[in-house]
Structure 1
């Protein structure tokens, strides 16, 4: 399953790692290890951040994705399952609506 992972990188220790020249090397190692489908760097909650899509076939993989961020940057990680349009079509929401829609609710 695809997971949207938001990584919030606090100002410290990131600033110190940038100053020491280690931030880029650590980021590269993490990205090479996780191999996200895509990753973008942005601002999240006033901090540096990353937004990535990672394939997670087993929930036991979540620590392998989050621990490098936790241990190296004291980051916070948020995991959200996401669907492609094809995934949504396979969910057959019309069938679910027929099963669960109650005209008396409205």
Structure 2
């Protein structure tokens, strides 16, 4: 399922992670693990943040994705199912009802 992962890092923990090299390593390993179709890095509410759009193959993968962010960056982690324009068109073509 196409999924949006949003990570919002706690400032003090992410400052330390930048200084000791943990942050770039964690972002790189996450990108390698998820093979996202897109990834973005930005400031949100004054915090370092990242978004990855990727295919979540199984919900049991969530802890393995989230725990490094919780443990290393004291981060808030959110997973949301998302659609691209093609998915939306397909859903609306069905009259917005389940098959």
| TM-score interval, smaller chain | 0.7 to 0.9
Describe the shift of the 1:9–1:94 C-alpha distance in structure 2 as closer, same or farther (beyond 3 A): same
Equivalent residue, structure 2, for 1:10: 10
3-state SS, counterpart of residue 78 of structure 1:
strand
Contact 1:4 1:79 in 2 (8 A): yes
3-state SS, counterpart of residue 91 of structure 1:
helix
Question: For structure 2, which runs of at least 5 residues remain unmatched after alignment?
Answer: none
Contact 2:34 2:55 in 1 (8 A): no
How many residues align? The count is: 97
Q: 1:75-90 alignment to 2 at 5 Å?
A: 75-90=75-90
What are the Cα deviations for residues 38-72 of structure 1, in whole angstroms up to 9, with x where unaligned? 11110112100001101112222222221221122
Runs of 4+ off more than 3 Å = none
Question: For structure 1, which runs of at least 5 residues remain unmatched after alignment?
Answer: 98-106
What are the Cα deviations for residues 10-50 of structure 1, in whole angstroms up to 9, with x where unaligned? 11211112222333223222222222221111011210000
C-alpha displacement of 1:93: 5.2
3-state SS, counterpart of residue 25 of structure 2:
helix
Q: 1:65-80 alignment to 2 at 5 Å?
A: 65-80=65-80
Describe the shift of the 1:84–1:23 C-alpha distance in structure 2 as closer, same or farther (beyond 3 A): closer
Q: TM-score if structure 2 supplies the norm length? A: 0.81
Task: Tell me, in whole angstroms, the C-alpha distance in 1 between the residues paired with 2:59 and 2:45.
Answer: 26
The alignment yields a C-alpha RMSD, in angstroms, of: 2.0
Larger Rg: 1
